Amino acid sequence: MARKLTFKIFRYNPTKENDEPHIDTFELEETPRLNLFTALHLIREKQAPDLMYDFVCRAGICGSCAMMINGRPTLACRTLTSDLADTIELYPLPFFKLLGDLSVDTGVWFHDMAKRLESWIHTTKEFDPTAVEERMDNATANKIYESERCIECGCCVAACATAQVYPDFLGAAGLNRIGRFMFDPRDTRGEQEWFELVSTDIGVFGCIGMMACDDVCPKDLPLLEVFSYIRRKMNSGVKVAVKEMDLA
Amino acid sequence: MRTLISDVLVIGAGLAGERAAIASAHAGLDVTMLSLVPPRRSHSAAAQGGMQASLGNSVKGKGDNPTIHWLDTVKGSDWGADQEVARIFADNAPIAMREMAHFGVPWNRVEGGPRDVYIKGKKTTIVEDHEKEGLITARDFGGTAKWRTCYTADGTGHTVLYAMDNLAVQLDITIHDRMEALSLIHEDGACIGAVVRSLRDGEILTYLAKATVIATGGYGRLYGESTNAIINEGTGSAIALQTGLVPLGNMEAVQFHPTGIVPTDILVTEGCRGDGGLLLDVDEYRFMPEYEPDKQELASRDVVSRRMKEHMLKGKGVQSPYGEHLWLDLRHLGEEHLTTKLREVYDICMYFIGVNPIKELIPVRPTQHYSMGGIRVNKDGMAYGMKGLFALGEVACWDMHGFNRLGGNSLAETVVAGMVVGRKVAAYAKTAELNANVSLAETFAKEQVDKIDHLLNNSGTENVFALKDEIGQLLTAHAHIFRTGEGLEKAVKGLKAILGRVNNVKVSSTAPGMNPELSQALRIEGMAKQAYIIAKGALLRTESRGAHTREDYPARDDKNWLNRTLASWPAGADEPEFNYEPVGPLDLPPGDRGYGGGQMIPMDLSLEEYNAKVDAAQKALGKQATSEPIGVSLPKEAWREESPYKDAK
């Protein structure tokens, strides 16, 4: 017999006067291969037409639908109810600005992060439309791609102890982005520039190493590897900084 | 009411929209982008397989050039494409790939030396040139003479979109996300901006600009089963249609991709078959070589989807609780390939259907995937019937795809059109005057405010979610791969009835702010109208061309139907108007595609006679003046130099 699922969903509409955060309960009969994308749509269409949440690709690619599912941040679209108990608790991701119910503003945070880190190739070269592309070793391309696979879902930041205390902390997503550009030979930023960007409490030294980010990343990004690469780089960055101080 | 002013307003911030915005920013113009979602969540991010460009770096792409790419594209379109636009595209695609490399895309590169690949079901060793080491490599895709599809594993859309958005951030382009354009503001046949609703707090505001660009993607979600992201509901084409002045082109040309997974309809890339994946039936028999001895699994998408359906109709499908399907076999590609170059596919199969493609077969069936039709624009990207309005990418009918687009050509189109049309937008905005008619803007905004008021306060009984499902079911049932006059009549009748019910939609939720039910309700009329145009256009087109297959009219009819459907919906009318225009200047004469079979009824005009009437006929239907005369970008008979034509008489 099909299970009856109970959804306990966090509700709050900040645009509604006198609304208070509360929990609404919905029941749904489980169908085979039911995922939370379909479940939430059914709840919206039949029971709560004002229920707010975000889905776009519904295929685990776009990063829109991260939420706290039974206390753990992950992508709702690829979470099957069959992997969960009869009662399912859904909360919005912490840390990000709440837009309503399960919807949070990850987009603006990640846009701001990209700006802070100058998340683009720093080069003085102009594009020449008549020239053949610059060569790159395929292994290097693959290494960049490994970090580039981040879908900005926000799970790592939501799970991060440091981020909850220091709202400016770049989080695993930010540090991974730095790694991505450090790996890239097209980016001309030198050790000193990287050092200034990340050798602070909101950068790589803010991380207290609990690595919840690594546990929850839905794309299995090689975060441990990236962090240790950045730390080693910073080590040589420190040497440069000390040398400059000596000269002064 | 707030009115925001910029030089250029771009509605939609996927790849096409962002590339066009960047072109305007590079020209020193003030640009504002609007998007339903944060730009990096756009459906462009979901594109897996790659982008076609004739770089010819891989040994299997040796000798490739824009002419061969153009030939494949025109044949793929079943001669429905504008051949000049296809040429502009093929010529610029290599530049666009290199530019994206410059912007930061980590394209997969050539590794010199031998490697094992699967070609037509057989393991083969190819030897890549050492002198090409480190240049952008390519994989095989359907309907192409060469390996031409540039890629980053199976996350190509993602990496290109991230590189593009990084650049948009660098250029400090204004992005207002979670914003939906509800209507275009226009005066005397010129677009001056848009009425927009914030999906954060429900605010209605107006944006005015010298040039307005629509780049909102396709209308796949009109269908009940689609691989598309759920935001692809044809919102951009709807607002153009609802001006009453701008026609939509070839809306009946809808692509069904051979490998949507069952259930969930999520796409697994054509790269699966490009890299050697095979299609099997209920007996695990590989059936495609029987139907298509030459191209096999890698004929164009319309052909493979049709063959799959045909095979299932012979009783060779696999029955499942989610309907009939076939199998995609990737097992022989091995764990390393599947967890690196096809890693998204691996993840999708594991997470969504619990299938491990290293060991198991993947259940697949043809599923709605791409909208060849859209806002009809001239070769500069400017909309028919309205000055200062541009469209590009999937939302536009530019029209390089005709009745079937090749895999890898749409993702490439986004950046190529972004570059080419983007420059035209910038040039237009540089000389255009701003029409800051705020009171007109308020009049247009008031219409939307009244509409919202009506939706919230009328005494109707229609539920918007149910209506949307009905539209999806009608199209899926009757405007799918195989179409008949009888079925399409049913769809037309059903959709007409739905159009009558749209006014009785009552939004039950009065919650302020995002109100998702209201958002859906504001879209439903545009969705119903477009669905109607798809079904009616398909009913009227009594031939089979590309993805439009009429069982009752199986021949491609170049005598009567070598044309493009233009549908517009005059303000206040009960019915859309259908007109037909020549596809564009012809250089490659209509002929056999080399796959797919089928009959042809030859045209009874010479190419010269056909070409002589193109420009005037298109202008009569609203085509705007182009910056260069029609046909100048189409080199005459360049294809004669290329195989297989070189040896022809």
Burial annotation B31-63 (CB, 10 A radius, 16+ → b, else e):
bbbbbbbbbbbbbbbbbbbbbbbbbbbbbbbee
Q: Do B177 and A107 touch (CB under 8 A)?
A: yes
Distance in angstroms (rounded) separating the CA atoms of residues B241 and B120: 44
Q: How many Å lie between the alpha carbon of A37 and the closest alpha carbon of chain B?
A: 10
Residues A175 and A139 in one domain: yes
Distance in angstroms (rounded) separating the CA atoms of residues A94 and A88: 18
Q: Are strands B3-11 and B31-35 parallel, antiparallel or unpaired?
A: parallel
User: Which residues 202-221 in chain B show a CB within 8 A of chain A?
Assistant: 202
- pLDDT attached to residue A241: 57
Q: Is the pLDDT confidence value at B26 over 90?
A: yes
Residues A97 and A126 in one domain: no
- pLDDT attached to residue A240: 58
Say whether residue B175 is in contact with chain A using an 8 A CB cutoff.
yes
Residues A169 and A191 in one domain: yes
Residues A133 and A221 in one domain: yes
Say whether residue B605 is in contact with chain A using an 8 A CB cutoff.
no
Q: Do A135 and B46 touch (CB under 8 A)?
A: no
Residues A135 and A94 in one domain: no
Average pLDDT, integer, range B244-249: 98
- Among the listed residues B40, B87, B257, B369, the single catalytic one is B257
Question: CA-nearest residue of chain B to A19?
Answer: B511
- pLDDT attached to residue A191: 86
The full length of chain B comes to 649
- Nearest CB to A121: which of B37, B103, B109? B103
Which residue, A104, A129, A161, sits at the end of a domain? Answer: A104
**Contact in structure between A53 and A103 (CB atoms under 8 Å):** yes
- What rounded mean pLDDT belongs to chain A? 93
Distance in angstroms (rounded) separating the CA atoms of residues B475 and B256: 13
- Among the listed residues B273, B401, B523, B541, the single catalytic one is B273
Query: Which CATH number goes with the domain that contains A82?
Result: 3.10.20.30
For B483-538, the pLDDT digits (tens) are 999 999 999 999 999 999 999 999 999 999 999 999 999 999 999 999 999 999 99
- Nearest CB to B99: which of A59, A127, A138? A127
Say whether residue B200 is in contact with chain A using an 8 A CB cutoff.
yes
Domain range holding A160? Answer: 107-247
For B262-294, the pLDDT digits (tens) are 999 999 999 999 999 999 999 999 999 999 999
Chain B residues with beta carbon closer than 8 angstroms to that of A142: 106, 108, 153, 340
- One-letter amino acid for residue B392 of the chain: L
Residues A69 and A127 in one domain: no
Chain B residues with beta carbon closer than 8 angstroms to that of A39: none
Q: How many Å lie between the alpha carbon of A248 and the closest alpha carbon of chain B?
A: 34
For B367-411, the pLDDT digits (tens) are 999 999 999 999 999 999 999 999 999 999 999 999 999 999 999
- Nearest CB to B134: which of A51, A136, A145? A136
Residues A189 and A226 in one domain: yes
Chain A residues with beta carbon closer than 8 angstroms to that of B152: 141, 145, 148
For A54-79, the pLDDT digits (tens) are 999 999 999 999 999 999 999 999 99
- pLDDT attached to residue B125: 97
Residue A243: which H helix or E strand, with range? helix A223-247
Distance in angstroms (rounded) separating the CA atoms of residues B498 and B488: 15
- Nearest CB to A115: which of B97, B102, B169? B169
Q: Do A15 and B202 touch (CB under 8 A)?
A: yes
For B200-210, the pLDDT digits (tens) are 999 999 999 99
Residues A148 and A217 in one domain: yes
Average pLDDT, integer, range B164-172: 98
**Contact in structure between B539 and B496 (CB atoms under 8 Å):** no
Radius of gyration over every alpha carbon of chain A, rounded to an integer in angstroms:
21
Catalytic (active site) residue B273: yes
Q: Where are the beta strands (DSSP E) in B228-352?
A: 248-249, 254-261, 278-280, 326-329
Catalytic (active site) residue B548: no
- Nearest CB to B111: which of A51, A63, A138? A138
- Nearest CB to A133: which of B136, B169, B353? B136
User: Which residues 40-79 in chain B show a CB within 8 A of chain A?
Assistant: 40-43, 45-46
- Nearest CB to B102: which of A63, A78, A127? A127
User: How far separated are the first and last CA of chain B, in Å rounded?
Assistant: 68
- pLDDT attached to residue B519: 97
| CA distance to A56, B69, B269, B297, B410, per residue, from B138 (Å) | 29, 13, 15, 18, 16
Say whether residue B169 is in contact with chain A using an 8 A CB cutoff.
yes
Distance in angstroms (rounded) separating the CA atoms of residues A229 and A176: 10
**Contact in structure between B519 and B36 (CB atoms under 8 Å):** no
Say whether residue B229 is in contact with chain A using an 8 A CB cutoff.
yes
Q: Do A64 and B37 touch (CB under 8 A)?
A: yes
Residues A118 and A214 in one domain: yes
Interface test with B, best of A57, A101, A112, A186 (most B CBs within 10 A): A57
Residues A147 and A240 in one domain: yes
For A200-228, the pLDDT digits (tens) are 888 888 998 899 999 999 999 999 999 99
Query: Which CATH number goes with the domain that contains A149?
Result: 1.10.1060.10
Which residue, A104, A138, A153, sits at the end of a domain? Answer: A104
Interface test with B, best of A13, A53, A120 (most B CBs within 10 A): A120
Chain B residues with beta carbon closer than 8 angstroms to that of A78: 351-352
Q: Do B41 and A64 touch (CB under 8 A)?
A: yes
Residues A95 and A122 in one domain: no
Q: Is the pLDDT confidence value at A182 over 70?
A: yes
User: Which residues 453-492 in chain B show a CB within 8 A of chain A?
Assistant: 465
- pLDDT attached to residue A205: 85
Which residue, A104, A121, A137, sits at the end of a domain? Answer: A104
Number of domains observed in the structure of chain A: 2
Question: CA-nearest residue of chain B to A49?
Answer: B517
Q: Do A99 and B514 touch (CB under 8 A)?
A: yes
Q: Is the pLDDT confidence value at A239 over 80?
A: no
Q: Do A133 and B106 touch (CB under 8 A)?
A: no
- pLDDT attached to residue B18: 98
Q: Is the pLDDT confidence value at B164 over 50?
A: yes
Burial (CB count <10 Å: 0-12, 13-18, 19+), residue B313: exposed
- Cis, peptide link before residue B247, omega less than 30° from 0: no
Chain A residues with beta carbon closer than 8 angstroms to that of B98: 127, 129, 131-133
Residues A116 and A164 in one domain: yes
**Contact in structure between B381 and B423 (CB atoms under 8 Å):** no
User: Which residues 247-266 in chain B show a CB within 8 A of chain A?
Assistant: 263-264, 266
- pLDDT attached to residue A248: 45
Q: How many Å lie between the alpha carbon of A96 and the closest alpha carbon of chain B?
A: 14
